[in-house]
Amino acid sequence: MDALQQIQDEAQLVGWRTAHLGRSAPVMQVFARMGSIPKELRQQVGQKANQVKVALENALEERAAVLRREALERKLTAERLDVTLPGRLPAFGRAHPATQALDEICAIFIEMGFQIYRSPEVETEEMNFELLNIPAHHPARDMWDTFHTTTPGVILRTHTSPGQIRAMREMAPNPIRVILPGMVYRYEQTNASHEMQFNQVELLAVGQHITFADLKGTLESFARRMFGENARTRFRPSYFPFTEPSAEVDMECFICGGKGCGVCRGSGWLEIGGCGMVHPVVLQNGGYDPAVYSGFAAGLGPERIAMLKYHIEDIRYFWANDIRFLEQF
Helices marked H in the chain — which ranges?
2-6, 10-21, 26-32, 39-78, 97-111, 125-128, 162-171, 212-227, 280-286, 302-310, 323-326
- 171 versus 180: smaller Cβ distance to ligand FA5: 180
- 63 versus 274: smaller Cβ distance to ligand FA5: 274
Q: Decide if residue 162 touches ligand FA5 (CB under 6 A).
A: no
Q: Decide if residue 194 touches ligand FA5 (CB under 6 A).
A: yes
On the 0-12 / 13-18 / 19+ scale of CB atoms within 10 A, 200 is: buried
Q: Candidates 104, 130, 271, 314: give the one binding ligand FA5 (CB under 6 A).
A: 271
Q: Decide if residue 97 touches ligand FA5 (CB under 6 A).
A: no
From CA 218, how far away is CA 223, in angstroms rounded?
A: 9
Q: Decide if residue 195 touches ligand FA5 (CB under 6 A).
A: yes
Longest dimension (CA), the chain: 136
Q: Decide if residue 298 touches ligand FA5 (CB under 6 A).
A: yes
From CA 13, how far away is CA 3, in angstroms rounded?
A: 10
Q: Decide if residue 188 touches ligand FA5 (CB under 6 A).
A: yes
Q: Candidates 166, 233, 304, 317: give the one binding ligand FA5 (CB under 6 A).
A: 304
Cβ(226)–Cβ(105) under 8 Å? Answer: yes
Q: Decide if residue 297 touches ligand FA5 (CB under 6 A).
A: yes
Cβ(144)–Cβ(158) under 8 Å? Answer: yes
From CA 170, how far away is CA 251, in angstroms rounded?
A: 33
Taking alpha carbons only, the member of 305, 275, 161 closest to residue 210 is 275
Q: Could you tell me which stretch among 31-39, 80-88, 119-127, 299-307 binds ligand FA5 (CB under 6 A)?
A: 299-307
Q: One symbol per residue from 274 to 293: x for binding ligand FA5 (CB under 6 A), - otherwise; what is it?
A: xxx-----------------
Other beta carbons less than 10 A from residue 135's beta carbon: 11
Q: Could you tell me which stretch among 30-38, 81-89, 95-103, 190-198 binds ligand FA5 (CB under 6 A)?
A: 190-198
Q: Please check if 121 is assigned to a binding site.
A: no
In the bound state, the residue with its beta carbon closest to ligand FA5 is: 301
- 63 versus 304: smaller Cβ distance to ligand FA5: 304
Give me the least distance between CB of 212 and ligand FA5, in Å please.
Answer: 12
Q: Decide if residue 200 touches ligand FA5 (CB under 6 A).
A: yes
Residues 6+ apart with CB under 8 A from 313: 192, 255, 262, 263, 307
Cβ(216)–Cβ(203) under 8 Å? Answer: no
The pair phi, psi for residue 328, each rounded to 5°, is: -80, -5
- Could you give the count of Cα atoms lying within 13 Å of 70 in the half-sphere of its Cβ? 10
How many residues make contact with ligand FA5 (CB under 6 A)? 25
Q: One symbol per residue from 211 to 240: x for binding ligand FA5 (CB under 6 A), - otherwise; what is it?
A: -----------------------------x
**Binding interface with ligand FA5 (CB under 6 A):** 159, 161, 186, 188, 194-195, 198, 200, 202, 240, 243, 246, 271-276, 297-299, 301, 303-304, 315
